[in-house]
Structure 1
Amino acid sequence: MTCHQTHRRWASALLIAVTAALCACNEKSAQTPSPQSSAAAYTPVTVQHQLGTTRIGHAPQRVVALDMNEVDFLDQLGVPVAAMPKDFVPHFLARYKDAVSVEDVGSIVQPNLERVHGARPDLILITSLQANHFKELSEMAPTLHFDVDYRDSQARYIDVIREHLLTLGDVFARQALARQKVSELDTRVEEVRRITAGRSEKALVVLHNNGAFSSFGVQSRYGFIFNALGVKPAGPNAETGLHGQPVSSEFILQANPDIIYVVDRTAVMERRPVMDARNMDNLLLRQTNAWKNGRVIFVDAQAWYVTGASPTSLKLIIDDVEKGYQR
């Protein structure tokens, strides 16, 4: 074989190998879109909310959630959290507390804006608790406000939670999962409403704070317990807003509820176990129907107080509501 023939055969073999490699690369590229092609395929989402209009132009990669409800929404949709406040993390989100990949941006009520900026967010999620920082946050990244009303939850409370789930499903292109989570939530709401619809018991929701109690009626942060879940209220339907109406044991006895739901704020704020009947016991309360029949329910305080407007917390609240009808 001549040197010229050997060179021609070597060149042919090399051409075949290069062609095969290029075909393999093209096939792999077709199966796994590059980041650029994924970004190009993203459909921008525009959301109108109480603080304005927010446009998300590309798939968010670093999401900062400044409210525990928002952390739970992201958790439900399988979206990574880049940063969050870590001052009051509920037990059902405990894995985020010590996660080194999740940066701590201070407190829920007063987030550290320098830390938020340092987290390099491309989307920020807030509620009314951080609404006064909306302008500054919007200068860092698109900022989306969750329009839940913590002062008066009687109107469209669960509808707003559903809508937010679906909105985030659009933002993160996880529409099917969002619809599944909404369906699960609707199922639990329907289940508890079937229980409460046929019952005559009346209930009182009270919040414990360092030995004092506040009552929450139909027009309050826990109004959805009565309006959306079908629990019948005991006592006057006074406006009680975010912090409730201070009440005495005499008031509770006069209302004489069949069920008392106790939210122990002190347990949350001081990070200690939720109070029980021994801590609350007194002569007047023992005379109520609720006490006599063992229907004083010490609820999941973190779900009711720290969150209360997310898929997981709402399911835990429904679990507690049902306990009042099981005895």
Structure 2
Amino acid sequence: MLKSVPARRLLALTIAPALFLAACSSGDSSADTSDSAEGTESSAAADEDTEAVTITDNYGEVEVPVNPATVVALDNHVFQTLSDWDVELVAAPKGIMGSVWPEYTEDESVADIGNHGEPDLEAIIAASPELIIGGYRFQGHYEDLVSQNPDSVVIDLAPREGEDEVAELKRQATALGEIFSHQDEAAALNEELDAAIAAASENYNGTDTVVGLITSGGEISYSAPGTGRSVGMVFPALGLNAAIESDAEDPTHGDDISVEAIAEANPDWIIVLDRDGAVPPEGEYVPASAVIEDSEALAGVSAVEKGQVIVLDPAFYLTEDIQSYTTLFNQIADAFGSAS
């Protein structure tokens, strides 16, 4: 059941018809014949400016302006897509973007909201955006974003907990395509993801065991199949045979696990997220590959012996978007294909 639409959204639904009727009334009352080409073009431009599309976000149906002039984006899942489509931002959480999107983080005209722990929500108010793309790490700030920005449309398209994450990534791409008039590009993103999953599934032998891990600060954590951070979603997507099937207790950061437990499970494959890859910690940075391969306890594990350790792109912890997952599934497809 859809939740009730916030008042600011109902206002948008009310204003649009009013503007349309006002425009019609103005046109009917004009008795002169001054319908010049310039006037026609101006009218067309005005119609385009007021065009809107109805999407269903995580809170219900919402009317969103097409190609909004001013945009704030908070959800890491959307930065790459917006960048590829040359969508300018007036504010962004530079504190959680690393160096992946310099076109935003190094642009002084883009206000810095900081990070989700202590965000500068006043910077968003000052930017007066038409559209705020919230959600994901900023999910807990949704109500504040809505109440503090009554003239903005706030949407949350982040993958929803408990839903198929592949379908959620495609849903997000489709909605963004509608909003920014890039429907064909959005469809291509979805098709590329499907193709990568199909390739990885075809190359998987159906019997090899796999474990998902996360490394940070030289330590190893466990990413549970299905619900574990980043790596977890590849298990249901590809029908992988999990070497360890414990439920996730901390799906955000990974669960504690001993190297002895991993060695006992003896997985044929290890897929690992390097949390420090995009934002190296203070002090010495130890890459995930070194953490795994230099561990004496894991030296005899089948995955290590055969060189079947797949390390996600270093920036994955920051991106986690449809582009990154497409790259990951292609990476897995290549690894499985080479092994077979």
Q: Could you tell me the TM-score, scaled by structure 1's length?
A: 0.80
Unaligned runs of 5+ in 2: 1-32
Deviation at 1:210, TM superposition (A): 1.8
1:25-52 C-alpha deviation (Å, 9 max, x unpaired): 9446656866423224x1x333333334
Residue 246 (structure 1) aligns with = 256
The equivalent position to 1:230 in structure 2, one of 236, 239, 247, is 239
Residue 255 (structure 1) aligns with = 265
Equivalent-residue separation in structure 2 for 1:278 and 1:179 (angstroms): 38
Deviation at 1:251, TM superposition (A): 0.7
Is 1:77–1:178's contact at 8 Å kept on the other side of the alignment?
Answer: no
Deviation at 1:147, TM superposition (A): 3.8
Residue 64 (structure 2) aligns with = 56
Residue 236 of structure 1 aligns with an amino acid whose one-letter code is: E
Equivalent-residue separation in structure 1 for 2:198 and 2:42 (angstroms): 42
Paired residues for 1:1-327 under 5 Å: 26-27=36-37, 35-40=45-50, 42=51, 44-57=52-65, 59-89=67-97, 92-139=100-147, 140=149, 141-149=152-160, 155-196=163-204, 198-220=205-227, 221=229, 222-240=231-249, 241-270=251-280, 275=287, 277-280=289-292, 281-303=294-316, 305-308=317-320, 310-322=321-333, 324-325=335-336, 326-327=338-339
Cα–Cα, structure 1 residues 94 and 247, in superposed 2: closer, same or farther, change >3 Å?
A: same
Equivalent-residue separation in structure 2 for 1:277 and 1:50 (angstroms): 37
The total of aligned residue pairs comes to 297
Is 1:124–1:143's contact at 8 Å kept on the other side of the alignment?
Answer: yes
SS at match of 1:87: helix
Is 1:296–1:324's contact at 8 Å kept on the other side of the alignment?
Answer: no
SS at match of 1:64: strand
1:116-163 C-alpha deviation (Å, 9 max, x unpaired): 1122211111123212211221131111012414x66xx411111111
Is 1:261–1:296's contact at 8 Å kept on the other side of the alignment?
Answer: yes
Equivalent-residue separation in structure 2 for 1:81 and 1:68 (angstroms): 13
1:247-272 C-alpha deviation (Å, 9 max, x unpaired): 11101101111111222223334358
Residue 275 of structure 2 aligns with an amino acid whose one-letter code is: R
Is 2:116–2:137's contact at 8 Å kept on the other side of the alignment?
Answer: yes
SS at match of 1:208: strand
Q: Which has the larger radius of gyration?
A: 1
Cα–Cα, structure 1 residues 159 and 283, in superposed 2: closer, same or farther, change >3 Å?
A: same
Equivalent-residue separation in structure 2 for 1:276 and 1:134 (angstroms): 34
Deviation at 1:179, TM superposition (A): 1.9
Deviation at 1:89, TM superposition (A): 2.3
Is 2:189–2:323's contact at 8 Å kept on the other side of the alignment?
Answer: no
User: Equivalent pairs: percent with the same residue?
Assistant: 23
Deviation at 1:92, TM superposition (A): 4.8
Is 1:274–1:298's contact at 8 Å kept on the other side of the alignment?
Answer: no
SS at match of 1:137: helix
Equivalent-residue separation in structure 2 for 1:29 and 1:176 (angstroms): 31
Cα–Cα, structure 1 residues 230 and 118, in superposed 2: closer, same or farther, change >3 Å?
A: same
Cα–Cα, structure 1 residues 274 and 88, in superposed 2: closer, same or farther, change >3 Å?
A: farther
Cα–Cα, structure 1 residues 298 and 175, in superposed 2: closer, same or farther, change >3 Å?
A: closer
Equivalent-residue separation in structure 2 for 1:83 and 1:58 (angstroms): 19
1:168-218 C-alpha deviation (Å, 9 max, x unpaired): 22222332332232222222222222222x343221111112232211122
Equivalent-residue separation in structure 2 for 1:188 and 1:91 (angstroms): 26
What is the RMSD of the two structures over their aligned residues, measured on CA atoms?
2.8
